[in-house]
Structure 1
Amino acid sequence: MSVTTTCRDLSELLPAAQIACRLLFQECYKTGIRNIFITETYRSQERQNYLYAQGRTRPGAIVTWTLNSNHKSRLAWDIAVAPPQSLYDIATLNKVGAIARKLGITWGGDWTGNIDRPHFEVKATWRIPTGYQLEGEVIVPSNSKMQVQLIVKDKEEITMNTWNPASPAMQTAAEAFLAQAVKDGIIQESHLKDLQNKQMTTDRLLGLYITIDQRRAAK
């Protein structure tokens, strides 16, 4: 691969970084951030040298301050924001960075001195934090024409016409939905406990669904 070519292939990262990246994009999707995409994953030492030379021994603005990046260790990835927002929209990157912190992912926006908001990385020992999981197939875009997607196969949707408290799949889906709402501070944990203890009526559960959706839409 040429030193001028950017690698955006997620499979070029180590397994821990691949999972971390997918989890980050999943959690962004769930909060409504779906207009972000990968701009670089693996970077060879030769390409790192090439980028480091820019603004120093080669014309152009400085784009990196190090010859030793975690990109070449296959543990880092960069993202950008799709139009109509600017490519490195600070507000969007700050929101993604806040999500990354919760997941134990290092965000370049938290660095002192050399702040790098589009940059995210993990250690090879990174594991999914307690309370999180990959909930389906996460589509991680590699260009601005695609949006983040989460495809959950065989998931039973809870509606006024189909909710069945006796269905284990629906019970699991409902618990996951309310657990996330508790984590987001939208409802009290007592609602989740009532559902888990089989003390939740259908009308009350559906009312909670409507309330949660309305509050999330208002954010």
Structure 2
Amino acid sequence: MSLTLEQVKAKSASKLSGLLSADRTAAEALIEFAYAHGVPIVITQGLRTIPEQDGLYAQGRTTKGLIVTNAKGGYSYHNFGVAIDFALLLPDGGVSWDTKRDGDGDGIADWDEVVADAKRLGWEWGGDWTSFKDMPHLQMTFKLSTADYRAGKRPTQSQLDTLIAKIKKMKGEDEEMTAEEKKDFEALKILIKAQVEVTSTLSNRIAELEDKQKLSEIPAWALKSCESAKAAGVLDATANGSYDFYRMVTILDRVGVFEKGVK
């Protein structure tokens, strides 16, 4: 099964909806960059509520299952919309957390390609942690601790805008023009339009002059020379020539060029 980029992005849409705007933009960019490498991914976790976090923390402690987190409710960046988890999206629609898989056959583990893209975008990777490595985890916290978030602090709009602008630049998207840039751009369009009109007028005038130079019939004095030129294989056609053209053909014929052939 070959999925389009839009189909791949749709599989993560529900997990991205609760993220901060800049983190959501960074997550979407990561999906796009990974897809461009031939490594489709799916975001398996985005915003997680405090009760959900408490339930996850209880797993392997007071409830069945393996321990998958050391963070209680309010102590995970997932609880504040600044963290995501990802997995590799398989051709059959399934998912994989195999960090050694090389599905695109380029000799580089797919997981490593995704992590490299994530770090370029500014994500912090849980696989770099010295204890309790969390391989699928990525977070973009804007240098705020979970204590800061619990206290109600959030990234400034300037921080969010700066990150979004950086991502747009990485994606090759044009940034919004300033009012002065828009004014200069409109002036440039007017100048280019005027130049195009002048060029078009000159081209039409040149074509008119060229047409006027063409003779509707081959002059009688040049008929024999034109036939000699065609017989010698020098010219394929001699119709619609100018006066100067026929004059030159006649001169060349008279000096015997067409009898000798052009060398």
Residue 80 of structure 2 corresponds to 73
Flag the 1:117–1:20 CA change in 2: closer, same or farther, 3 A: same
Whether 2:17 is the aligned partner of 1:17: answer: no
Q: Which has the higher contact order (CA 8 A, sep 6+)?
A: 1
Q: How many Å apart are 1:86 and its aligned residue? A: 6.5
Report the alpha carbon displacement of residue 70 of structure 1 after superposing the two structures with TM: 0.7
| Superposed displacement of residue 64, structure 1 | 0.8
Q: Indicate yes or no: 2:107 matched with 1:102.
A: no
Secondary structure of the residue aligned to 1:37 is: strand
> Corresponding residue for 1:58?
63
**Per the alignment, do residues 86 and 9 of structure 1 end up closer, same or farther by CA in structure 2, a change over 3 Å counting?**
closer
- Cα distance in 2 for residues equivalent to 1:115 and 1:133: 30
1:143-168 Cα deviation digits (max 9, x unpaired): xxxxxxxxxxxxxxxxxxxxxxxxxx
Distance 2:127 2:120 in 1: 14
Change (3 A) 1:134 1:59: farther
Deviation at 1:120, TM superposition (A): 1.1
| Alpha-carbon distance, 1:58 to partner | 0.9
Q: SS of the residue aligned with 2:77?
A: coil
Moved more, 84-93 or 19-28: 84-93
- Give the C-alpha shift of residue 98 in structure 1: 1.2
> What is the Cα-based RMSD across aligned positions, in Å?
2.6
Which has the larger Rg? Answer: 2
- Relative to the length of structure 1, the TM-score reads 0.53
More helix by share: 2
Q: Which amino acid aligns with 2:58?
A: A
> What CA distance in whole angstroms lies between the structure 2 residues aligned with 1:134 and 1:14?
22
Instruction: Determine the structure 2 residue equivalent to 1:88.
Output: 97
Q: How much has 1:82 moved relative to structure 2? A: 2.6
User: Are 2:30 and 1:28 aligned?
Assistant: no
User: C-alpha displacement at 1:60, in angstroms?
Assistant: 0.9
